Structure 1
């Protein structure tokens, strides 16, 4: 068994990478070209909505390929933009969404009961 397979990985390492600072006109094919050099890819989702442009999710088949890609592509220059490559962390996203939901509920209750912030 090779040493890579027996190495312990940090808890935040997973098969899903979240990529930011992508050129808006990058295609999925170009993404496969760049990220595919590091291993088999299960799926790539490039953001195309106004608030998700310039971002993508890259899902590798193997966690070690994702780790290798993350280490090598962090700061990689594509069309004059330097990539930000992070491990996707569902709990951070969920926490942020829950916080927003709580803030919205609080605003609604304040409005319903006529409570001012001052």
Structure 2
């Protein structure tokens, strides 16, 4: 009876700190639909939201938000490496700080390229 009161499958399980309800999925087929994503990820628990990337720089990626953190962990455990249309999924816990850092680096790289073009500087001149 005590096991049922704590949620049965969950018990007193401690989760690693990176575990959260939001998953970041990479290596998706470009033509995958939200409905197909719900079919795949919905088997592991109630989903609050799925956002499939539809821009050139976000295609092949998605965010999946579960209602329950344990369902999200279960999905990561079972779907990392899952084959969808010949592509093996990469399923990660979303980490805002890492995503922001990546976006900042991309922005800096773009600004550097624009300055190189503006001032007609080649990569050799920058490195030398």
Name the counterpart of 1:37. 43
Shift of 1:47: 0.5
Does 1:64 find its partner at 2:78?
A: no
Name the counterpart of 1:13. 19
Change (3 A) 1:83 1:101: closer
1:63-82 per-position Cα deviation (integer Å, ceiling 9, x unaligned): 00000000000111111111
Change (3 A) 1:53 1:72: same
Name the counterpart of 1:24. 30
**TM-score calculated relative to the size of structure 1:** 0.83
Q: What's the secondary structure of 2:14's corresponding residue?
A: coil
Q: How many residues are treated as equivalent by the alignment?
A: 115
Could you list the structure 1 runs, at least 4 aligned residues long, displaced by more than 4 angstroms after superposition. Answer: 100-103
Q: Which runs of 5+ in 2 are unaligned?
A: 1-5, 120-124
Q: Which runs of 5+ in 1 are unaligned?
A: none
- 1:66-105 matched pairs, under 5 angstroms: 66-101=72-107, 104=111
**TM-score calculated relative to the size of structure 2:** 0.77
User: What CA distance in whole angstroms lies between the structure 2 residues aligned with 1:102 and 1:33?
Assistant: 38
User: What CA distance in whole angstroms lies between the structure 2 residues aligned with 1:27 and 1:102?
Assistant: 32
1:54-104 per-position Cα deviation (integer Å, ceiling 9, x unaligned): 110000000000000000001111111111101111000112233445563
